Amino acid sequence: MCGIVGVHGFAATARDERAHLQRMRDTMVHRGPDDAGIWQAADRSVALAHRRLSIVDLSAAGRQPISNEDGSVWLTFNGEIYNHAGLREPLIAAGHTFRSRCDAEAIVHGYEEHGPAVVDALDGMFAFGLWDAGARRLLLARDRLGKKPLYYVEVGGRLLFASEIKALLAHPDVGRDLDPVALDLYLTFGNVPAPRTLFAGIRKLPPAHVLTCTRERGIEVRRYWSPLDAETFGRPVPDDEAADHTLTLLRRAVHKRMMSDVPVGALLSGGIDSSANVALMTELLGRPLRTFSVGFTGFGPGENFHDLPYARRVAAAFGCEHHEIAISAEECRAHVPELATQLDEPIGDPACLPMHFAARAARAGGVTVVLVGEGSDEVFGGYDALVHLLDTTVPRFESVRRLPRIVRRGLHGLARLLGAPAGRIDVLRRAARDEPLYWGLDVAFWDTEKAALLAHDRPSGGAADVVRGFYRELAARRPSADRLQQVSWVELCNRLPELLLMRVDKLTMAHSLEARAPFLDADLVSYALGLPSAHKIRGRITKYVLRRAVRGVVPRAVLERPKQGFRVPLPEWLRGELSGWARHQLRDAAIHRRGLFRRAELDRMWEQHVAGAYDHSFDLWCLLNLFAWYERWIEGSP
């Protein structure tokens, strides 16, 4: 796993960019502490740089940027290509010469054979920049599910790209300011959906997309893959067959992700997903697996904030070398400024806190690679809230949508007049305006709530437009998708890549640790997404097919354990130990100098939360992270 940067003056006068590139590259030493390199074309039209975390082929032969035999193709690459060994044989047969065992070379020579279509053959997680001197073309690519981030900005006829935003900000031509449209999106989703970021002008390449840049055509972006295109999508299949095939794909996905020349471990919560990882990894190892778990001081297992007792039982069942840490409210509070630096743009997910401490513990515990359970809930229907949503909320919403528009508008107006709860008012608002019901699992502020919170008119191009885009693509590719497939698709489009996976990437790489997610193997995602809903939610049982698949692989107690998730005792902390700090941060933040928020509304939310009248902890955490981000990146020093 690595950090990559590059500059291409596709519509600008050529100049020496090496000093700028080195400064950009070295903001990401944490992504690649083992080695570094820079290459610039003789005509200075393009320059690439790289920081290396050595995982496969630890020798100097794996140094990047790396080129083909005659230097006409150059690559800077971040990620792992699990099928690189299988790609080598036909490339060698075609006359290509490999100088290392690194997977990056398979991309270089694969590009020589197939051009930009090389991405279709890559099985793994990746982000890369590739320069083709013959075609005078820069190619950027991001993996299918968005496990690796890739940011870019066009300024003065130059395209700059990097693994992290902080690297782009280190270039003297790149300014920094808040994007008002992105702010509106962040307040809805707790993250900023691609292609925007919270920084004006800086973009992120969406998952499963490639960007090409040439002098003649400028910057072009296109999708190269979709799980909706799987031939098995929606096809009926018997329960046993679905479970057997799911286990086959999961076992294959774990096996691929054991590829490493450095120690591999696992983050373990004791739930189905991480326990399945540990079970299948143990099958492949001839020694105890190192596992790492996080808990919180001051809370017992009965208070639903502790993974440690469950993880401990799983680790014992599989003979793991188990490590535990318990973190306090004060430790989490002290980490918030560092969190703003590590993430580059805020992520309104309290689980960022345990992820940081788990990653730090794993690196200190002697591993360089960990397997994580992200993605399972999104593709297998693992959230308990989905049961109520699909059985009750969606049918009611659809019945309201069938009413004449004037009646829908009247119901919305009446709900506002009677002071109904904000969530109910917004459901009726969406029905009145023919907007989709489901926008994502963790919505912080609905449009009705944002209208009360923000002190200015909201910009056009808001969250409803983003979500409509997701549904348009789904309708074009799979018009018969059932309700759960629709929900999963929305999650795969935004919350998974730009919140969950961004959290995993940034907070593991901050500690020079590589995270791999077997449940987000492209073949497994395509198959699971395409399974009809009855295979995933049956009655009140979530992840039904996965539970059948791993029966006999993980302990029965794990299968019967209620879902807990990566929870944080934030509601209690904000009413107790962190109350004074949070109140000060909300009232006196530097962002208030811009007059963006109504302080009376902030006070109302705070008072409701402290009094226990309403749990605003997620909303408040989104704001606390936003305010810390603004102070670090907009008000702070470069």
Which residues carry out catalysis?
2
Helix (H, G, I), strand (E, B) or coil at 138: strand
- Helix pair angle (501-509, 329-343), 10° resolution: 100
Tokens of 253: 């996905």
Which residues are CB-contacts of 287 (< 8 A; sequence separation ≥ 6)?
A: none
- DSSP state, 289? P
Tokens of 347: 């992520």
DSSP H helical ranges for 2-129? 18-25, 84-93, 104-114
- Torsion angle in degrees (nearest 10) through CA of 186, 192, 197, 200: -30
Helix (H, G, I), strand (E, B) or coil at 132: strand
Give the span between the Cα atoms of 38 and 600, in whole angstroms: 52
DSSP 396-431: HHHHHHTS-HHHHHHHHHHHHHTT--HHHHHHHHHH
Tokens of 574: 């904000």
Cβ atoms of residues 86 and 70 within 8 Å: no
Give the span between the Cα atoms of 63 and 58, in whole angstroms: 9
Cβ atoms of residues 363 and 53 within 8 Å: no
Tokens of 459: 């910009």
Helix H or strand E encompassing 299: none
Give the span between the Cα atoms of 604 and 599, in whole angstroms: 9
Assess whether the previous peptide bond of 65 is cis (omega < 30° from 0). yes
Which residues are CB-contacts of 391 (< 8 A; sequence separation ≥ 6)?
A: none
Give the span between the Cα atoms of 548 and 562, in whole angstroms: 16
Helix H or strand E encompassing 392: none
Q: CA–CA distance from 603 to each of 122, 348, 455, 616, 620 (Å)? A: 51, 19, 14, 12, 11
Helix H or strand E encompassing 371: strand 369-371
DSSP H helical ranges for 454-521? 463-477, 483-493, 495, 501-509
Query: Of 386, 401, 396, whose CA–CA distance to 483 is shortest?
Result: 386
Rounded to a whole number, what is the largest CA-CA distance in the chain? 75
Give the span between the Cα atoms of 224 and 209, in whole angstroms: 6
Which residues are CB-contacts of 3 (< 8 A; sequence separation ≥ 6)?
A: 25, 28, 30, 31, 32, 50, 51, 78, 162, 163, 164, 167, 509
Total residues found in the chain within this entry: 638
- Helix pair angle (394-401, 405-417), 10° resolution: 120
Give the span between the Cα atoms of 204 and 370, in whole angstroms: 25
